[in-house]
Amino acid sequence: MNVIIPPGIFFAVETYLSVNGFHYFVFDFVTQGDHIDIYCTKHPSLNGQDSSVSKTHLFSSGRICFVAGKEPRTRWEAQKRAKQWAEYFIEYRRTGKAQS
């Protein structure tokens, strides 16, 4: 009989407050094989902007869209990318200018 407790983290959600301090995001990270999918479960409204995936980079499931092969592979990287996306989202809802 042997019991092994491997290193790991029970994590509920990752919250992010935008740099301007006005907007609040909640992220959930899901390990999918060799990479991590980022889900945004809470974000500010689009402020009337176009909600298409090509502009928001956010699927209706809440998953953030990444180019195949460019997905984050570590948790640290996933957190960084989630923050970058959150700042992009705020800029998009303000100006309506989308990045490809």
Partner 1 sequence: MRKAKYNRKRKPSKCKRPKNRTAQTIEKFIKPCHDVCTEMAAIRINRKAFYELMHKLSSRPAESGGILLGPVGTNDITHFYFDRGGACTGGSYSPDYITLNRKMREEWLPAGLDMKGFAHSHPGSLDRLTAGDMSYIKKLLSKNPDMNMFVAPIVLPNQYRINPLIISRDRMDYAQRAHFEFF
* Site residues for partner 1 per CB under 8 A: 1-15, 28-31, 39
CB 35 to partner 1: min, Å: 13
Where is 83: in which H helix or E strand?
Answer: helix 75-95
Which residue's CB is nearer to partner 1, number 2 or number 99? 2
CB of 89 to partner 1, least distance (A): 20
Least distance in Å: CB of 17 to partner 1? 12
The tokens describing 99, both together, are: 């990045």
CA 92 – CA 73 distance, rounded (Å): 26
